[in-house]
DNA sequence: CGTTCGATGCACT
DNA sequence: GTGCATCGAACGT
């Protein structure tokens, strides 16, 4: 098992999107390791993508998207949810992959506690971009963290999904024509709305 | 099954 | 002041 190097992220975003499925998102906080296998993600690419936060051009909020690949872009949304992205491409080319769902691996009981006691079949604990950040304890303090060196990182455990499903991105009002949502086909930990796109063998 | 709706805070114009 | 890359409870069918 090894940490993904910066070169993994410094590539076309759709390549990163496809290959990030099966990798392991890890957060070590207060000496406690929590982690999960990435089973769902979406691409947001460039100022010409109307759903990308870079669409209005550079602002203070979206600055991490314009920075070096391999960093985290964390932002706060709907007044209550943190969402975590991995920045891709290269400096000056704003693009990222949004992590949407994990299969829980390490610290499952701790993650359930963070999510609250009103839940929970375990497989729902990290399903949904707001849910997984809450379960892993990710918030704005991790914005711009270096995913290759910090306590928030992505590891390669040699896991390869058998099939992937590509479909339109969800939860957005614009840019829904692009099929930039990539899911581990049929995985039980996918977020609420299950993809109906086409499945491809790898 | 399905859809609607309230909670909630901040970046941006 | 507006609009979110959301979530889950509360309904209706």
User: How far does the CA of A193 sit from the C1' of B3, in Å?
Assistant: 14
C-alpha dihedral (A183, A98, A102, A78), degrees to nearest 10? -120
d(CA A192, C1' B3) / Å? 14
Does residue A7 surpass a pLDDT of 70? Answer: yes
Mean pLDDT in residue range A124-147: 97
Nucleic strand C interface residues, CB < 7 Å = A 42, 44, 51-53, 65, 73, 77-81, 83, 85, 96, 98, 115, 118-119, 124, 128-131, 170-173, 191-192
A61 touches strand B (CB under 7 A): yes
Paired tokens of A23: 């990798």
Within 7 Å of a protein beta carbon, the nucleotides of strand B are 7-13
CA–CA dist A50, A158 (Å, integer): 34
CA pair distance A74, A134, nearest whole angstrom: 12
pLDDT at residue number A162 = 96
Nearest nucleic acid nucleotide to A192, CA to C1' distance: C7
Cα three-residue angle A90-A95-A57, rounded to 5 degrees: 100
Residue A126 (CA) to nucleotide B4 (C1'), in angstroms, measures 24
Is pTM beyond 0.75? Reply is yes
Mean of pLDDT values over A116-131: 78
pLDDT at A123: 65
Residue reference for tokens 């891709």: A88
Question: How many other C-beta atoms can be found within 10 angstroms of the C-beta atom of residue A103?
Answer: 23
**Distance from C-alpha of A88 to C-alpha of A65, rounded to nearest angstrom:** 8
Q: Is the pLDDT of residue A10 over 90?
A: yes
For residue A179, CA distances in Å to A13, A37, A41, A115, A141 come to: 13, 22, 11, 30, 31
């Amino acid at each position: 098992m090894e940490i993904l190097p910066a070169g993994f992220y410094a590539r076309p975003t759709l390549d990163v999107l496809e290959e990030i499925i099966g990798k392991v998102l890890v957060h070590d906080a207060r000496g406690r390791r929590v982690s999960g296998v990435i089973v769902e993600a979406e691409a947001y690419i460039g100022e010409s993508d109307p759903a990308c936060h870079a669409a209005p051009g550079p602002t203070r909020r979206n600055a991490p998207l314009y920075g070096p690949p391999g960093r985290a872009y964390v932002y706060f949304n709907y007044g209550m949810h943190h969402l975590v992205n991995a920045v891709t491409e290269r400096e000056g080319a704003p693009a990222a992959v949004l992590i949407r769902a994990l299969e829980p691996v390490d610290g499952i009981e701790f993650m359930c506690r963070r999510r609250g006691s009103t839940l929970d079949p375990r497989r729902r604990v990290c399903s949904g971009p707001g849910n997984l950040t809450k379960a892993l304890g990710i918030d704005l303090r991790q914005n711009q963290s270096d995913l290759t060196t910090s306590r928030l990182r992505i590891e390669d455990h040699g896991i390869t999904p058998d099939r992937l499903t590509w479909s339109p991105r969800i939860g957005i009002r614009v840019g829904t024509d692009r099929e930039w949502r990539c899911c581990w086909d049929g995985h039980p930990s996918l977020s609420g709305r299950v993809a109906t796109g086409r499945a491809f063998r790898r």
